Amino acid sequence: MEALRQHKPTRGLRRTTAAKRTWVPEELRIVHRPEEVTQRLIPGHWEGDLIKGDFNCSCVGTLVERKTRFVVLCKMDGCTAENALEGFTRQMKKLPHCLLGSLTYDRGTEMTCYPELMKRLNIDLWFADPHAP
């Protein structure tokens, strides 16, 4: 009897708390981003993301310049918000000041230290809408 196929239970609906959904202030949503950034008119505006390795033990941050598509990879010691802050700060400080306009990021929890990142680099930061590609 044990060798026969058995019905696997279906996955339930994932629930999120209100605290997790609303940690991004309204004024930092992507809809408030200036038109020159949205239309890729001038260089210096970046999109960032995080690539996680096996078992979420290792991470690499990616920064892509929106106009030129120039890519910068940021090695990180871990996948926490503090590690992301240090990794992105270290790599972006190597760039010329004229190429530090803004950063657009998804709503991953690794960016909960965004006020410190904005302060360290003196850049604007925008967050994408939830579940947007």
Question: Tens digit of pLDDT for each residue in 2-61?
Answer: 677 666 666 766 665 555 555 789 999 999 999 999 999 999 999 999 999 888 788 999
Q: Cβ distance 65 to 99 under 8 Å?
A: yes
Total number of domains in the chain: 1
CATH number of the domain that 120 lies in?
3.30.420.10
Whether residue 51 lies inside any domain: the answer is yes
Tell me what pLDDT residue 59 has: 93
Range of the domain at 93: 25-127
For the chain, counts of helices (H) and of strands (E): 4, 5
Tell me what pLDDT residue 9 has: 66
